[in-house]
Amino acid sequence: MRDPDALRDQHKRRLAWMPWLYFALKPRHRAWAEAWQAEVQAQLLAQETVQLGVGCFIAPEAAIFGEPGRGVVLGDRCAIAAQAFLHGPLTLGNDVSVNAGARLEGGRKGLDIGDGTRIASGAALYAFDHGLKPDREIKDQPVRSRGIRLGRDVWIGANAGVTDGVTIGDHAVVAMGAVVTRDVPDWAIVAGVPAVVVGDRRQP
Q: Output the tens digit of pLDDT for each of the chain's 204 residues.
A: 566 677 889 999 999 999 999 999 999 889 999 999 999 999 999 999 999 999 999 999 999 999 999 999 999 999 999 999 999 999 999 999 999 999 999 999 999 999 999 999 999 999 999 989 999 999 999 999 999 999 999 999 999 999 999 999 999 999 999 999 999 999 999 999 999 999 999 997
Other C-beta atoms lying within 10 Å of the C-beta of residue 114: 22
- Check residue 196 and give its pLDDT: 98
- Check residue 24 and give its pLDDT: 94
Question: Residue 39 in contact with residue 25, Cβ under 8 Å?
Answer: no
- Check residue 7 and give its pLDDT: 86
pTM score, two decimals?
Answer: 0.94
Cβ neighbours of residue 152 closer than 8 Å, sequence gap 6 or more: 93, 114, 115, 116, 117, 170, 171
SS (H, E, C) 32-76: HHHHHHHHHHHHHHHHCCEEECCCCEECCCCEEECECCECEEECC
Residue 154: DSSP 8-state:
-
Task: Name the maximum alpha-carbon separation found in the chain.
Answer: 68
- Check residue 1 and give its pLDDT: 55
- The partner residues of 141 in beta bridges, in order of sequence, read none
Cβ neighbours of residue 101 closer than 8 Å, sequence gap 6 or more: 81, 82, 83, 84, 121, 122
Alpha carbon of 126 to those of 36, 91, 100: distances in Å?
A: 31, 14, 17
- Check residue 5 and give its pLDDT: 74
Homologous superfamily, domain 4-200:
Hexapeptide repeat proteins (2.160.10.10)
- Check residue 3 and give its pLDDT: 65
- Check residue 50 and give its pLDDT: 98
Rounded to the nearest 5°, which phi and psi values hold at 46? -75, -20
SS (H, E, C) 73-120: EECCCCEECCCCEEECCEEECCCCEECCCCEEECCCCCEEECCCCEEC
- Check residue 22 and give its pLDDT: 96
Question: Residue 169 in contact with residue 148, Cβ under 8 Å?
Answer: no
For the chain, first and last CA: distance in Å? 52
Number of H helices, E strands in the chain: 2, 22
